[in-house]
A and B are shown apart, each in its own frame.
Chain A
C-alpha cells in the first residue's frame, strides 16, 4: 500500500511499536513455519544422515522412529538400538524449534486436559487464552463504570476459556476430534468443506451449518454484528483485551474505508468460490487437472488468508495498524455479518440530536476506523457494515451522544 496517507500513519508509530510488531510477526512465522519441521521429510533427512552405510531400515521401522520422535513416547515395538536415533531427531528438532522451549513446560497441563503432550497449537491456544483472560480482567477494571463493556468482556473471556480452550482439549482427551463451537464457516472455513464430511461427526457438522446459516442471520437481525464480533469471537476477544492499547491506531481515512470495502468482499468471494470448487471436486470424485486446481486453491487460501492475513498480519500488526486489521479488511465472516447488519438488522448507533461537540474521541477510539464523529456531527444514526458494536465510542463520548441499540 504505497499511499502516503497509510504509510504516514504507520511511520508515526514509534520504534517500540515496530519492535513489538517484529516480535509478534516472528512468533507467528515461527508458529506456521515450524509446521514444516513436523513434516516427515525433515525426519527422513535426519534419519538418512544418521544411519551408517550398509545399515538398512525398513519402512516400518522408519515409521516407528518418526512416531517416537514426534510423540515423545516410545512405542514398545521399537528396538533399543534405535533410541539414540530418536534422541538425535528430538534434539535437532528442539534446537531448530525455538517454540519447543515454550511448549515443553506445558506438557503437564496438556496431559491433564488433553491426555497428550503439548504441541505448538496447544501453546498457541494457551497463550491466547491467558492473554484474553488476564488482559480482559484489566479491561474490566478500566471500564468498571461501563456495564456494557464489563458484560461483553466477561462473555468473550468465558467463551475463549470454555469453548475455545478447555472443551476442544477435553474432547481430544475423550478420544473425539477437537471442535470449536464458537467458530463456523466461513471464518472457520474447514467446517463446511468436503473434508468436514469425513472428518467431523455428523452432529458437529450440522451444528456448524446451523450456526453459519441460521444462527448468524437470526442473531444478527436482533442484535447486529456485535453478538458475534464483540461477544463471542476469539479474534475480537484478543483485539478488545490484549489489543486495547492499540485500538486508536486504526486508520480513519476515507481511503482506508474504500480499500476495506474492496478487500473484505474479495476475500468473502474467494471463500465462497473455494467452498464451491471443493464441493464440485468432491462430487466429481476424479483426480485430474481440476482437482489439482481445487487443492491448490485450498492450500493457498490457508496459507495466505488463514495464516498470513488473519494470523501474521491480523495480530502481528496490532502495534502498527490497530487491533482489527483482519476483522476490518479480511474476515469473510465479518463481510457476511456486515451485509446483514446494514440491510437486515435492528441494530444501529443512535446519535443524540445536536449534542455532539465534534471532539473526536469516538472516531479516534473506534477500532474499525469508522469516522463516528462525521455522523454524530450531522445527528444521523450510524449503520455501518464494519461496526463490531464494541461500544467504545459510546463509552468515550463526553457528551452522551451515542447509544448502541436494537431498535424495535
Chain B
C-alpha cells in the first residue's frame, strides 16, 4: 500500500501538531498526514501526571475534539515510521505501508535519558516521559500491590512530579538529588530550599548530593547502592535525569545529528525537504546550537516549520524561527513557579535580589544588570506574563519594578502578598 502526501509529519506531539495546523492554515488544500506510534490522538505530555493522579482521564488531555481533525482535514495514523528514504522521498511504516511525501517533518520528541550504571536494565527501573512509562508505573504501583519503597533519581522538573505522584499513593519515597540544593539549573539556593521543604512536607525522604552507583536484584531491582555506599531497599526506581532526543530514525536516514537533529534557523535539515522541530531538533542559538526541551518552544518551532513548508509549497520565501523573551513555569507540589527572561545565576556584573517573604512559602527573585531588570523568578506566587515581559523589553530599573510590583502580581483575587516587607528590604539594601 502506498500513499502520497504533501506533508508527512512524524510525531504527534506539540511540535508535530503545531506544524500540521500551521501548514493547514496557510495552505488550506495541501494533504497532511501525521504518523505517530505512541497514541492515536495528540495529548498533552505535561499532563501525564494528572492521569496517574486520576484527576484526568487520558481523553481529557486531548486538546482538540476528535471531530476537529476531520474538519481540519488532517489525517492521523498510529504507526511507527521504521525507515525514512530521502532519495525516494518516502517513509516505511510499521504497518507495512509506504508514504511518499513532498515534505517531511521530524517531530519525534525525546525519551527519558538512561543512567549509565550497572543494573539499569533490571525490571522495576524506568523513566517517565510517555504513555508506555505511565503504564509501567501504574503496573508497578497498583494500589493492591504497592512497592515497599520507590527511589527517584534526579532532581529536575519531572522528578518532583513523579515524587508527588508516588506520594499520592502513600508510597515511601527516597529522592536522590546530585546537586547541593534542588534544581540549581534554574533555582537559587533560597528557592531550592523552599522546594526541599515542600518535598519533605509531603513525606518524601530527600537526599541531596547523592547519586546512584548500582542497582541490584535478581531479575528485578531490589536495592540501590549510592556513590557513598549507602544501601536502600526498594522495588521501584524512577530515573528522571533529563531526556534524550529521539534521533535514531534521522541518523539511519543519514541526516546530520549531534545531540539532536541539526536544523537551520528555518527548522530545515541538511536535506531541503526534510524539517525537524521540537525536542528532537538542535537549533542554532547565539552562534552555537542548543536543544530547547519545552512545550512552548516545541510549539513555536513546530509553527515555524509548518509555515515554512507551506511557504515553500507556494513558492514563497521562508522566515526564521524567532524567540521572544524566555519564559517557563512549573508547579512544585503546591508551589507555583513562574519565570521570565534571564534568571540564570548571575555572573560578571549581573546581580540578583532574592527575597523570601517572612513566614510564607514565597520567594521572589529579580536578576538585573546595571540596575536594569533582566529576569523574574517567582516561587509560591504568580507573575503576570505581559507586564514582566514588557518590563524586561523596556529595560526598566529595579527600583521602578519594586515600586510597581503590584501590577505584576497574577495571584487570584483576595491573595495577599506582603509587598511592604519586600520594599523595605530592598530600600534598606541600597
Contact = CB atoms under 8 A, between A and B. Distances in A.
Interface of A: 145-148, 151, 253-254, 350, 352-355, 357-361, 363-364, 373-374, 377, 391, 394-396, 398-401, 403-405
B296 A253 contact: no
Given A364-B60, A395-B412, A398-B331, A358 B385 contact: no
Contacts of A145: 334
B25 to A, nearest CB: 13
Given A359-B61, A360-B44, A360-B47, A353 B412 contact: no
30 contacts: A146-B412, A147-B413, A147-B414, A147-B415, A148-B414, A253-B65, A352-B338, A352-B410, A353-B385, A353-B389, A354-B296, A354-B385, A355-B329, A355-B338, A358-B44, A360-B44, A360-B47, A360-B56, A361-B47, A361-B56, A363-B60, A364-B56, A394-B412, A398-B50, A399-B329, A399-B330, A400-B410, A403-B382, A403-B411, A405-B413
Given A352-B384, A400-B336, A359 B412 contact: no
The 9 closest A-B pairs by CB, nearest first: A353-B385, A359-B47, A147-B414, A400-B382, A357-B46, A358-B44, A400-B336, A360-B60, A358-B63
Contacts of B329: 355, 399-401
Contacts of B62: 360
Interface of B: 14, 44, 46-47, 50, 55-56, 60-63, 65, 295-296, 299, 327, 329-331, 334, 336, 338, 382, 384-386, 389, 410-415
Given A374-B63, A403-B412, 10 more contacts: A147-B414, A358-B46, A359-B56, A360-B56, A361-B56, A398-B50, A399-B329, A400-B336, A400-B382, A403-B382
Contacts of A404: 412-413
Given A352-B385, A377-B63, A399-B331, A357 B410 contact: no
B386 A353 contact: yes
Nearest to A396: B55
Contacts of A360: 44, 47, 50, 56, 60-63
A358 B14 contact: yes
A357 B44 contact: yes
B327 to A, nearest CB: 7
A148 B65 contact: no
Nearest to B58: A360
Contacts of A395: 412
A400 B378 CA distance: 11
A404 B413 CA distance: 7
A364 B329 CA distance: 21
Nearest to B71: A254
A377 to B, nearest CB: 6
A48 B319 CA distance: 92
Contacts of A391: 412
Contacts of B63: 358, 360, 373-374, 377
B111 to A, nearest CB: 19
Nearest to B389: A353
A391 B331 CA distance: 19
